[in-house]
Amino acid sequence: MAKEPAPKVQTIDPAALEVLKRAEEMGYSTAFSRAAKTPACPIGETGACCQLCNMGPCRLVATKANPDPVGVCGATRATVAARNMARHIAAGTASHSDHGRDLIFTLEAVGKGEAQGYELRDIPKLYAVAGYFGIKTDGKKPEQIAVEIAQKAIADMAGQKGEITYVKRAPKKRQEIWRQLGIVPRGIDREVVDILHRTHMGDDQDAEHILLGSLRTALADGWGGSMMATDISDILFGTPAPLRTRVNIGVLKDDEVNIVVHGHEPTLSEMIVRVVNEPELIEYAKSKGAKGINLCGVCCTSNETLMRQGIPSAGNDLNQELTIITGAVEAMIVDVQCVMQALQDLATKFHTKLITTSPKVKITGATHIEFDEHHALDIARQIVRIAIDNYPNRPRQQVQIPSHLSDLVAGFSHEYIRYMLGGTLRGSFRPLNDAIMTGRLRGVAGVVGCNNPRVTQDEAHNYIVKEFLKNDILVVQTGCGALANAKYGLLLGEAAMEYAGPGLREVCEAIGIPPILHLGSCVDNTRILTVLTQMASEGGLGDDISDIPGVGIAPEWMSEKALAIGAYFAASGAYVLFGVNSPISNSEEVEKIMSEGWEKIVGGKMEFVPDPQEIVRRSLAHIDAKRAALKLPAYDPTKFGKSGDWRMRELLKMPFPERVKALYGMPVAAE
DSSP secondary structure of 559-608:
SHHHHHHHHHHHHTT-EEEE-S--TTTT-HHHHHIIIIIHHHHHS-EEEE
The CA-based dihedral angle spanning residues 303, 304, 306, 308, taken in that order and rounded to the nearest 10 degrees: 150
CB closer to ligand MSK out of 239 and 302:
302
Query: 13 near 462, Cβ under 8 Å?
Result: no
Contact code string over 245-264 relative to ligand MSK, x by CB under 6 A:
-------------------x
Q: Letter for the amino acid at 255?
A: D
For the purposes of burial, counting CB atoms within 10 Å of the CB of 290, is it exposed (0-12), middle (13-18) or buried (19 or more)? buried
| Count of positions on this chain that bind ligand MSK (CB under 6 A) | 15
Does 231 engage in binding with ligand MSK (CB under 6 A)? no
For the bound state, the minimum distance from the C-beta of residue 622 to ligand MSK, rounded and expressed in Å, comes to 23
Query: 398 near 350, Cβ under 8 Å?
Result: yes
CB closer to ligand MSK out of 165 and 302:
302
CA–CA dist 391, 400 (Å, integer): 15
Q: Which stretch binds ligand MSK (CB under 6 A): 38-46, 383-391, 539-547, 555-563?
A: 555-563
Contact code string over 3-42 relative to ligand MSK, x by CB under 6 A:
----------------------------------------
CB closer to ligand MSK out of 76 and 452:
452
Does 447 engage in binding with ligand MSK (CB under 6 A)? no
For the bound state, the minimum distance from the C-beta of residue 564 to ligand MSK, rounded and expressed in Å, comes to 10
Does 299 engage in binding with ligand MSK (CB under 6 A)? yes
CB closer to ligand MSK out of 299 and 590:
299
DSSP code for 670: P
CA–CA dist 458, 481 (Å, integer): 8
CB closer to ligand MSK out of 317 and 459:
317
CB closer to ligand MSK out of 52 and 484:
484
In angstroms and rounded to an integer, the radius of gyration of the C-alpha atoms of the chain is: 25
CB closer to ligand MSK out of 376 and 522:
522
Q: Which of residues 329-358 bind ligand MSK (CB under 6 A)?
A: 337-338
Query: 59 near 48, Cβ under 8 Å?
Result: yes
Does 222 engage in binding with ligand MSK (CB under 6 A)? no
CB closer to ligand MSK out of 317 and 415:
317
In order of 79, 322, 338, 346, 598, the CA distances from 23 in angstroms are 43, 8, 21, 10, 45
Does 521 engage in binding with ligand MSK (CB under 6 A)? yes
For the bound state, the minimum distance from the C-beta of residue 559 to ligand MSK, rounded and expressed in Å, comes to 4
Q: Which of residues 356-395 bind ligand MSK (CB under 6 A)?
A: none
Q: Which of residues 94-123 bind ligand MSK (CB under 6 A)?
A: none
Contacts of 87 (CB under 8 A, 6+ apart): 195, 196, 199
Q: Which stretch binds ligand MSK (CB under 6 A): 64-72, 156-164, 231-239, 557-565?
A: 557-565
Which regions of 116-256 does DSSP assign to beta strands (E)? 243-247
The correct pick among 309, 559, 586, 587 for binding ligand MSK (CB under 6 A) is 559
- 3-state SS track over 380-424: HHHHHHHHHHHHHHCCHHHCCCCCCCEEEEECCCHHHHHHHHHCC
For the bound state, the minimum distance from the C-beta of residue 116 to ligand MSK, rounded and expressed in Å, comes to 27
Q: Which of residues 461-490 bind ligand MSK (CB under 6 A)?
A: 479-480
Q: Letter for the amino acid at 535?
A: M
Q: Which of 324, 483, 339 is nearest to 401 (CA)?
A: 324
Does 563 engage in binding with ligand MSK (CB under 6 A)? no
Largest CA distance in the chain: 98
Q: Letter for the amino acid at 331?
A: A
For the bound state, the minimum distance from the C-beta of residue 69 to ligand MSK, rounded and expressed in Å, comes to 33
Q: Letter for the amino acid at 379?
A: I
Does 300 engage in binding with ligand MSK (CB under 6 A)? yes
For the bound state, the minimum distance from the C-beta of residue 449 to ligand MSK, rounded and expressed in Å, comes to 5
Does 306 engage in binding with ligand MSK (CB under 6 A)? no
For the bound state, the minimum distance from the C-beta of residue 338 to ligand MSK, rounded and expressed in Å, comes to 3
CB closer to ligand MSK out of 19 and 480:
480
- Within 13 Å, how many C-alpha atoms sit on residue 33's CB side? 17
CA–CA dist 173, 342 (Å, integer): 47
Does 450 engage in binding with ligand MSK (CB under 6 A)? yes
For the bound state, the minimum distance from the C-beta of residue 608 to ligand MSK, rounded and expressed in Å, comes to 16
Is residue 260 helix, strand or coil?
Answer: strand
CA–CA dist 512, 320 (Å, integer): 33
For the bound state, the minimum distance from the C-beta of residue 556 to ligand MSK, rounded and expressed in Å, comes to 9
For the bound state, the minimum distance from the C-beta of residue 445 to ligand MSK, rounded and expressed in Å, comes to 16
CA–CA dist 348, 365 (Å, integer): 9
For the bound state, the minimum distance from the C-beta of residue 427 to ligand MSK, rounded and expressed in Å, comes to 29
CB closer to ligand MSK out of 299 and 528:
299
CA–CA dist 539, 359 (Å, integer): 46
CB closer to ligand MSK out of 231 and 472:
231
Q: Which stretch binds ligand MSK (CB under 6 A): 390-398, 406-414, 511-519, 558-566?
A: 558-566
Compute φ and ψ for 59, nearest 5 degrees.
-110, 115
Label residue 188 left, alpha or beta by phi (over 0 means left) and psi (-120 to 50 means alpha).
alpha
For the bound state, the minimum distance from the C-beta of residue 225 to ligand MSK, rounded and expressed in Å, comes to 14
CB closer to ligand MSK out of 108 and 560:
560
For the bound state, the minimum distance from the C-beta of residue 501 to ligand MSK, rounded and expressed in Å, comes to 27
Is residue 436 helix, strand or coil?
Answer: helix
CA–CA dist 289, 325 (Å, integer): 22
For the bound state, the minimum distance from the C-beta of residue 561 to ligand MSK, rounded and expressed in Å, comes to 5
For the bound state, the minimum distance from the C-beta of residue 302 to ligand MSK, rounded and expressed in Å, comes to 9
For the purposes of burial, counting CB atoms within 10 Å of the CB of 671, is it exposed (0-12), middle (13-18) or buried (19 or more)? exposed
Does 449 engage in binding with ligand MSK (CB under 6 A)? yes
DSSP code for 340: -
CB closer to ligand MSK out of 338 and 576:
338
Q: For residue 332, give the H/E element and its range.
A: strand 331-334
CB closer to ligand MSK out of 303 and 390:
303
CB closer to ligand MSK out of 192 and 522:
522
CB closer to ligand MSK out of 326 and 477:
477
Compute φ and ψ for 598, nearest 5 degrees.
-65, -35
Q: Which of 443, 442, 475, 444 is nearest to 461 (CA)?
A: 475
Query: 264 near 302, Cβ under 8 Å?
Result: no
CA–CA dist 401, 213 (Å, integer): 48
CB closer to ligand MSK out of 88 and 561:
561
The correct pick among 189, 265, 317, 459 for binding ligand MSK (CB under 6 A) is 317
Q: Which stretch binds ligand MSK (CB under 6 A): 139-147, 201-209, 401-409, 556-564?
A: 556-564
- Which residues of the shown chain bind ligand MSK in the complex (CB under 6 A)? 264, 299-300, 317, 337-338, 449-450, 479-480, 521-522, 559, 561-562
